[in-house]
Chains A and B, each alone.
Chain A
Amino acid sequence: MHLYGLTRRQLGSVAITLREYANKRPEAVMYERKLTMDDYLNARMIVEPLCLFDCCLVNDGAVALIITSAERASNCKKPPVYVMGYGTDHSVREIGRSPQAYMHWDGFITQKAGENAFRMAGVTLKDVDVAELYDAFTPFLLSQLESYGICGIGEAGPFVEEGNLRLDGAFPSNTSGTELSWSYLQGFSHLTEGIRQMRGEAEECQVKDAEICMVTGLGPPSPGSTATCCILRR
């Protein structure tokens, strides 16, 4: 907010975009529970400038994933989803050392996590049809849009406000409502939806003909931030 003039309305547009996806998903915690900009702007503060709707849900839930070889998966009932690449990095070594570790605190580590994942997968960001980005708090999603190069530095607020994360936008993302509105299952919220997108099972939130999905995880900057990036293919 201080550096780039990010507004509360832009943070609100993240919460509302994801809520609109969750409203269409019967198993979502926030199924059919609408969120308007007025609701957002009038919500109680948690840690200012973040209000209730900037924070993820707190709920119980469970997910199970079966990981096996492509050969074995070919005989299973459901179509397999392939893990094409992954990358990870952390910034523990930077903590307390310089303010640059906090300014774009995830920038260094997401860059390396993303580079490794895309290199292993043999694809680029331009090939991504749908993304499921870690969203424990609304700013997490904004900072990843910038640090993975999906939009320019300082441009994530307007990018989301213009509707680019919606199904008809430039970069459909978090299509179940993920942690902010679907279910708080940490990274499994994102993996589950990524797999469903690759299988064409995302119901009304399906990105048409999606073939490549980017799934990320992100830990906060204390005691050291961690980023993970995974590329899935149908």
Chain B
Amino acid sequence: MSEYKKQLPDITSIDKPFWEGAKRHELMAYTCLNCETFYSQATDCVACDNPRMGWVKVSGKGEVYTFGIYHQLYHPAWKEDIPYNVAWIKLDEGPLLMSNIVECKNEDIHVGMPVEVIFDDVTEEVTLPKFKPVK
């Protein structure tokens, strides 16, 4: 497991529940506990003016909202992976999440493609949520 050479998230108190959930193989999203409007970060809900925010487990199902194929090498650890994809996933519950599409050729990825989460345990501490096509 210590062989993993790519960048790892710098986990802080703000996003810790997300990464703890991933380690349990549960996809977590940050939401207003009153009206269920999702955010990436917020101290208050601007939709219903409520300060009760928290993390909830989501289904892990969604679709490709948009994507790009990286040909430029930005970090040496990715040398064997280029060209690799980076996609915005629109989860069924609404929020957007950036990740990679796996178990799919780059040329087969398309906007609107149904996907579901898989969990890649890259180190003992870190699990990365990635997405694969729904067959």
The answer to whether A and B interact is: yes
Chain A residues in the interface with B (C-beta under 8 A): 2, 44-50, 93, 95-99, 102, 223
A48 to B66, alpha carbons, bound, how many Å? Answer: 12
Contacts A96-B96, A99-B96; is A47 near B71 (CB within 8 Å)?
Answer: yes
A48 touching B37, Cβ below 8 Å: no
Residues of A within 8 A of B111 (CB): 2
Residue in A47, A97, A99 whose beta carbon sits within 8 Å of that of B70 in the complex? A47
Chain B residues in the interface with A (C-beta under 8 A): 30, 37-42, 46, 65-66, 68-72, 83, 86, 88, 90, 94-96, 111
Q: Could you pull out 15 A-B pairs where Cβ atoms are within 8 angstroms?
A: A2-B111, A47-B71, A47-B86, A48-B69, A48-B70, A48-B83, A95-B41, A96-B41, A96-B95, A96-B96, A97-B95, A98-B94, A99-B94, A99-B96, A102-B88
A46 to B69, alpha carbons, bound, how many Å? Answer: 8
B65 touching A44, Cβ below 8 Å: no
B37 touching A45, Cβ below 8 Å: no
A2 to B112, alpha carbons, bound, how many Å? Answer: 10
A47 to B42, alpha carbons, bound, how many Å? Answer: 30
Residue in B38, B39, B83 whose beta carbon sits within 8 Å of that of A45 in the complex? B83
Residues of A within 8 A of B69 (CB): 45, 47-48
A96 touching B66, Cβ below 8 Å: no
Q: Which residue of A lies closest to B46 (CB)?
A: A93
The 5 closest A-B pairs by CB, nearest first: A96-B40, A48-B69, A45-B71, A47-B68, A2-B111
Contacts A2-B66, A2-B111, A45-B71; is A95 near B83 (CB within 8 Å)?
Answer: no
A93 to B42, alpha carbons, bound, how many Å? Answer: 8
Residues of A within 8 A of B41 (CB): 95-96
CB of A95 to closest CB in B, whole Å: 5
Contacts A2-B66, A102-B88; is A96 near B39 (CB within 8 Å)?
Answer: yes
A96 touching B38, Cβ below 8 Å: yes
A93 to B45, alpha carbons, bound, how many Å? Answer: 9
Residues of A within 8 A of B71 (CB): 44-48
